[in-house]
Each structure stands twice: as structure tokens, then as C-alpha cells.
């Protein structure tokens, strides 16, 4: 898929997890020898996995409060996934913003390890987003305050011009308005 910036994005769906043994060039492109890894999991998640999955959803909810760009549909889809491995991969893909954080989830083979890493990465990104949100809020408040001050000064100038009053009276009005 070619995106508006002109970059090419390729979307893959993995059939299994694998570890690269060797990489070599052949026929003008790179090839690799891989070892397929299979993880046997039970049909239902353990209590620990369920607890982690629940905590991850709680963290996703807090992220969604800060960043409304995260979809409610994606949140509901994540909630419906019962397999810890699929859940971790889906949530990482849908809610982690940093590429290296997504990659660290995919690199872990064991589903429980992926869930633990996912929770840590979501918490880290949540802290960053919360800090950015508070900084933005403070900056917005300062800008609003400066705009209000500017608007009031301009009103005073307009009143002065209309009434033809002297500067001392205008300053007195300005002080009254400011307080």
C-alpha cells in the first residue's frame, strides 16, 4: 500500500512464529533460513493471563481518555479475544504508538511474557501521553490568558479613541477590568 507521503507499507499476517537462523542473498534479494516455533497453549487462559488481560484493558481505557483517537471498536474487539497470544498481538498493534514497543511484543515467544511486556509498554506510553496532555493544557491556558489580556487592551484603546479620554483614566479602567 502506498501512503500519501510516498512510502510503501507492506502488511503481513504471520502464520507462525519463527526465529531467523541465517540471512543470505540469492537471486537478487535477501533470503533467510528460519526455525518455526510453536507454543502450546491451553484452550482457556490461566487466571494470571486473564488478570493481565484485564489490567491491559484497564490501561487501554485510560489511554483512550487521553487520546480519543484510539477506537472504541478496537477496544471492544480486544475485549472479545480470549487467546492471550492473539490478544497481546492485537492490542500491541492497535494501541501501542512506538514501533520499537510493538516490535518488543512480537519478539517474545511466550504469550504470558508478551502480556507482561505489553502491560509495561502501555504504562510507559500512558505516562508519556499524560505528561504531554498536561503540558498542552498548561500551554493552552497561557495562550488563552494572553489572548484575553490582548483583547482587553484592545478594547481599552477602542474606548479611549471613542471617548477621547486621557491616558490616566484609561489606565484606571484597565486596572478595574484586570481585577
DSSP collapsed to 3 states, the chain: CECCCCCECCCCCCCCEEEEEEEEEECCEEEEEEEEECCCCCCCCCHHHHHHHHHHHHHHHHHHHHCCCCCHHHHHHHHHCCCHHHHHHHHHHHHCCCHHHHHHHHHCCCHHHHHHHHHHHHHHHHHHHHHHHHHHHHHHHHHHHHHHHHHHHHHHHHHHHHHCCCHHHHHHHHHHHHC
Residue 165 has pLDDT above 70, yes or no: no
Which pLDDT score is estimated for 135?
A: 92
Which pLDDT score is estimated for 149?
A: 86
Confidence band (pLDDT; 50, 70, 90) for 170?
low
Helices and strands per DSSP (H, E), number in the chain:
6, 2
Residue 92 to residue 98: CA distance in whole angstroms: 10
Average pLDDT of span 118-124: 95
Percent residues over pLDDT 70 in the chain: 92
Cell 537471486: give the residue: 27
> How do residues 66-105 score in pLDDT, each as one tens digit?
887 888 898 999 999 998 988 999 999 889 989 899 999 9
pTM: 0.66
Instruction: Please indicate whether residue 49 or residue 165 has the higher confidence score (pLDDT).
Output: 49
Of 26-40, 51-65, 116-130, 156-170, the range with the lowest mean pLDDT is 156-170
Of 3-12, 99-108, 166-175, the range with the lowest mean pLDDT is 166-175
Residue 35 has pLDDT above 70, yes or no: yes
| Cβ contact 111:49 at 8 Å | yes
Residue 167 has pLDDT above 80, yes or no: no
Amino acid at each position: 500500500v502506498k501512503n500519501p507521503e510516498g512510502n510503501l507499507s507492506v502488511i503481513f499476517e504471520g502464520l507462525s512464529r519463527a526465529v531467523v537462523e541465517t540471512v543470505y542473498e540469492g537471486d537478487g534479494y535477501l533470503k533467510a533460513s528460519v526455525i518455526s516455533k510453536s507454543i502450546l497453549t491451553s484452550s482457556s487462559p490461566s487466571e494470571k493471563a486473564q488478570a493481565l488481560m484485564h489490567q491491559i484493558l484497564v490501561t487501554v481505557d485510560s489511554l483512550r481518555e487521553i487520546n480519543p483517537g484510539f477506537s472504541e471498536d478496537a477496544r471492544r474487539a480486544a475485549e472479545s479475544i480470549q487467546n492471550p497470544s492473539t490478544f497481546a498481538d492485537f492490542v500491541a498493534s492497535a494501541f501501542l504508538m512506538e514501533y520499537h514497543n510493538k516490535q518488543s511484543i512480537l519478539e517474545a515467544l511466550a504469550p504470558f511474557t508478551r502480556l507482561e511486556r505489553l502491560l509495561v509498554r502501555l504504562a510507559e506510553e500512558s505516562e508519556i501521553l499524560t505528561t504531554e496532555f498536561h503540558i498542552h493544557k498548561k500551554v493552552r491556558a497561557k495562550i488563552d490568558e494572553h489572548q484575553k489580556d490582548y483583547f482587553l487592551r484592545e478594547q481599552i484603546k477602542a474606548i479611549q479613541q471613542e471617548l477621547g479620554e486621557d491616558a490616566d483614566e484609561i489606565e484606571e479602567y484597565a486596572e478595574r477590568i484586570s481585577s
